[in-house]
Amino acid sequence: MTGMDGTGSVTSRALRVLEAFSADTPVLRLTDISRHTGLPLTTAHRLVAELTEWGALERESGGGYRIGLRLWEIASLAPRGLGLREPALPSLSDLAHVTRENVQLAVREGLEVVYVERLAGRGAVPVLTRVGGRFAPAPTGVGRVLLAYAPPEVQEQALAQPLVRCTEETLCDPDRLRQALAEVRHAGVAICEGQVTLDSVSVAAPVYGPSGEVVAAVSVVVRLGSVQPYALVPLVQVAARSISRVLGGEGGPVRGRAPAFPNGTGTRR
């Protein structure tokens, strides 16, 4: 259904308003919303008023708008969001307490990774992720795990896209990434060095659901050179298995070994 102004249905226009907000632009004025969405100012004004009345948006004293708590309330019902976070949080907290490093929980949505939880250790290496944020799967530890256990057609779709190069070390060759994904499936863990930032290492393991499918991935991200990544493998796998059991999954065997080459490249860096 097309709206009177020819810019799509009422629902699609309302969603465009909500999509205008991001981590970089959490507060927008009405003119900003109109510009971001391409909607006429009068249309944007009407939609913003309706969304504010419902609680999807909140107006600040300075005249700007931000996402409202009503959306957070609705989003908390998503089983792969906060519904997954709550049963996983005790194991994630234990892992964060033991390592004092960044601990992350993520799921795959389409060809992207969505971060469900992140616990930051004091003094831990800075990371580019945030709760609710999305990232390309190939460079990240959790993304490698989720991609490795995804259906083959999903893997090929992901590898057929232009691959994101975050650093000079980022693997962007599809054939080498296929090898890396095979290593993850064989070892049950992913180790990514310098793939997202040059000073970080991610160690990730799969979380299994009740049907035996991989539903999420958990990782620890540490500063390169601060600890041997292989020492973190059992800790991450135990946390992943613990979450799997809470979810009703078996979690697979703890193999006690990591991929032969951290970047899946065939050479140590």
User: The CATH number of the domain where 67 resides is what?
Assistant: 1.10.10.10
Residues 62 and 110 in one domain: no
The pLDDT value given to residue 170:
86
* List of residues 6+ apart from 253 with CB closer than 8 A: 188
Q: What is the mean pLDDT of each run of 10 residues along the chain (269 residues)?
A: 55 89 86 92 92 91 88 70 79 92 92 89 75 86 96 94 88 92 95 89 94 93 87 95 89 47 41
Residues 61 and 119 in one domain: no
Q: Which residues form the domain of 23?
A: 10-74
Residue-wise pLDDT for 86-108, tens only, equals 889 999 999 999 999 899 999 99
The pLDDT value given to residue 76:
66
Residues 54 and 154 in one domain: no
Tell which of 34, 50, 74 closes a domain.
Answer: 74
Rounded Cα distance between 246 and 218, Å, is 14
Residues 173 and 198 in one domain: yes
Domain count, the chain: 2
Cα atoms in the Cβ-side hemisphere of radius 13 Å centred on 43:
21
- Taking Cα atoms as reference points, which of 204, 136, 220 lies closest to residue 171? 136
Contact 105, 84 (CB under 8 A): yes
Residue-wise pLDDT for 42-60, tens only, equals 999 999 999 999 989 999 8
Alpha carbon of 44 to those of 15, 51, 55, 57, 166: distances in Å? 11, 10, 16, 13, 36
Contact 202, 178 (CB under 8 A): no
Residues 49 and 167 in one domain: no
Residues 136 and 189 in one domain: yes
Residue 254, in any domain of the structure: no
Residues 185 and 241 in one domain: yes
